[in-house]
Chain A
Amino acid sequence: MPKHIKRLIFIFVVFAILALAAKIYFVPASFWVYGHYRARSVTEIASDAPMYRGSHYCQSCHRQQFAEWSAGAHRIVTARGMRHGVICEDCHGPAGRHPLLGKPPPPRVLDTHKAIMYSRYNRVTGKMRVPKNTVALCTQCHEKMAGRPTVALPQIVVATHARSQQCAACHNPHTPAIVFPAVATEMLAGSAAAGKAQSAQCAACHGAGGMSLGPAFPDLAGQQPAYLVAALKAYKRGARKAPIMNGVAAALDNKEIANLAAYFSGLSRPASPAAHPLPAALARKARGEACGICHGEGGISRNPAVPSLAGQKEAYLASALEAYRSGTRKEPLMARVAGHLSPAEIKELAAFYSGLPWQAGNASSALFKVGAR
């Protein structure tokens, strides 16, 4: 064989060996096991730790919130493959390693790029987000917008519904529906005449015409009948604590309560005193925002389950609000509202509502859906 051919063959062989050696060196071991890719990467990708743990993960530690959530409209319901519901982590952010007990694991480091691809463990401190700005949170789903499905997803217009209020001031985010205390309808069919006879024992404190005789005694004239029934039954049960009234109500049976409610709610009121001045910012809040949606514009309630506040005794209003705030008077709706008030605001609101003029027309309106859903 000529020398130059031998040389050529030698060069070819060396080149082939070098090329194949390079291929062995550069192609990862698990390449081609399943196809034209690194089989190990499947395992690597699959071994990442999930961040969203699902609502049931929270159940064992946050029993109360989970129970509230399970009872409300935000719970998960699945029907024919379609899932509706807001999971805890939609509002609170991914749980990841919450609650953080011990040190977080080291992040996965890319082999070749030596970079932390998933920097998420650095971001997770194990603390959950507690949404403060509930307007931003709730309007993500509940603000009226062209294209949003309106069936089964109730929409509001913030400007007229909540105005500048936080949604959590009235709604419990875990059980969002506002359910007004319900009163059985037969309790609303009392006889005013029979109630008038009964009411003699009340006059010492609440006045003969339902206009009370002292700052601590609330006016009853013209009050919403369902609310009067609910209040008296709460006293009777002891759910609402006021030593005098607990004693008085304990002696009343259901029929008498219905009669008294019919009587007092039918009474008309004399003209109320002049309005107190109130700082402008708070007046706005009181009139339209936090209270008006339930207690009616001007403090005249249109909702049978919610008491009117206009012209009520100032000291009584203040003590009632304080009682809700401190939890001695228990009612979920007012507890939430009053929980957002400061003592100074309570004083001003009591002064404001006691100074509002009474207007006739305490009729309930179909606007409110009353009762448990």
Chain B
Amino acid sequence: MAVLGAAALELFGAFARKPAAAAAKDGAAPSFPTPSYNWTKHHWAFGVDANQCTACLACVEACKLENGVPQDPHHFRTWVERYTYLDGEAAPLVDSLADPGDIEASNSRFVEPYRFDQRYQEKKVETAFFVPKLCNHCERPPCVEVCPVGATYRTEDGVVLIDQDYCIGCRYCVQACPYGSRTFNEVYGVADKCTWCYHRITKGLKPACVEACCHGARVFGDLNDPESDISQFLRDNRVEVLKPELGTHPSVYYVGIDDDVR
């Protein structure tokens, strides 16, 4: 009987927790390793300038090493796509790092960095550009909607995260993402995705891919700060987002891409 009583008390506690949560939402945030970090005071966003991308893939390398992403060419939290319009052709040829030719060019992919092959060297190329891709950290993320256990969520500062301890590995989210931003980590049986290096940005650092980018193709910052890199980027450029028609409201803004990039 005593056990039952205790359970009943706990029960009440569980229901009573909801208003308490609302209170916590206004003031106290989760305890961050950097105590001064308050997640209600930030609104992170990302910018990509495809005109600047040199496809050096330092970002991909940095992401993998920073976050312990498997080194093989089929698991990426961020990757780069190449769009090539050959002379007189309307549709672009698209390849990415998982393309057999590019895997070949990266010869020993566990030691040397990734690279694109020179397949268009002999051809007449009208235009070509590279598009860095990553999780769009949507304001209305379909992946969060489909998660049956609440293992993925959007934080107050605008980052979509995965609780990998809680993930059951059902892969609904991998399928639900319209941008192909989620991968499945077969070793640990959990979904994996870009976190905008949440462990870095909450300490005042930039995401590893932004830090590594050698030519200003990746921009990151706080929309709440009008002088941040991203605020300047959004002011100075005509930006677009990927697949706006889906209503996901992405937080990654692109410059220098065309309608064929989706």
Contact = CB atoms under 8 A, between A and B. Distances in A.
Pair from one complex: yes
Interface of A: 17, 20-21, 23-24, 27-28, 31-52, 54, 74, 78, 80-87, 89-90, 93-94, 110-113, 115, 117-120, 123, 133, 136-137, 139-141, 143, 145-149, 152-153
B51 A149 contact: yes
Interface string B111-147: 0110110101100010111100000000000000000
A42 B161 contact: yes
A239 to B, nearest CB: 35
Listed from nearest, the 9 A-B pairs whose CB atoms lie closest are A147-B128, A82-B216, A81-B232, A41-B163, A48-B199, A81-B229, A37-B153, A118-B68, A146-B125
A80 B151 contact: no
Contacts of B228: 81
Interface stretch (B171-179, B207-215, B244-252): B207-215
A288 B83 CA distance: 36
A113 B219 contact: no
Interface size class of B (residues with CB under 8 A): 35 or more
B203 A50 contact: yes
B4 A17 contact: yes
A34 B118 contact: no
A263 B22 CA distance: 90
Contacts of B164: 110, 113, 117
Query: Majority SS of interface residues in chain A?
Result: loop
Nearest to B208: A52
28 contacts: A24-B14, A27-B14, A31-B150, A34-B30, A34-B156, A36-B150, A37-B163, A42-B30, A45-B199, A46-B32, A46-B33, A46-B37, A46-B198, A81-B219, A81-B228, A84-B214, A84-B215, A84-B216, A89-B212, A94-B208, A117-B68, A117-B188, A118-B68, A133-B112, A141-B215, A147-B83, A148-B54, A152-B215
B36 interface: no
A93 B128 CA distance: 29
B11 interface: yes
Nearest to A46: B202
B165 A112 contact: yes
B224 interface: no
Given A41-B165, A44-B165, A153-B215, A81 B236 contact: yes
Nearest to A148: B54
Contacts of B129: 147
B7 interface: yes
A302 B47 CA distance: 46
A90 B208 contact: no
Interface in B3-55: 4, 7-8, 10-11, 14, 17-18, 20-21, 24-25, 30-33, 37, 39, 47, 49, 51-55
B239 interface: no
A43 B130 contact: no
Contacts of B194: none
A47 B21 contact: no
Interface string B48-76: 01011111111000100111100000000
A262 to B, nearest CB: 45
Contacts of B189: 113
Contacts of A82: 49, 52, 216, 219, 229, 233
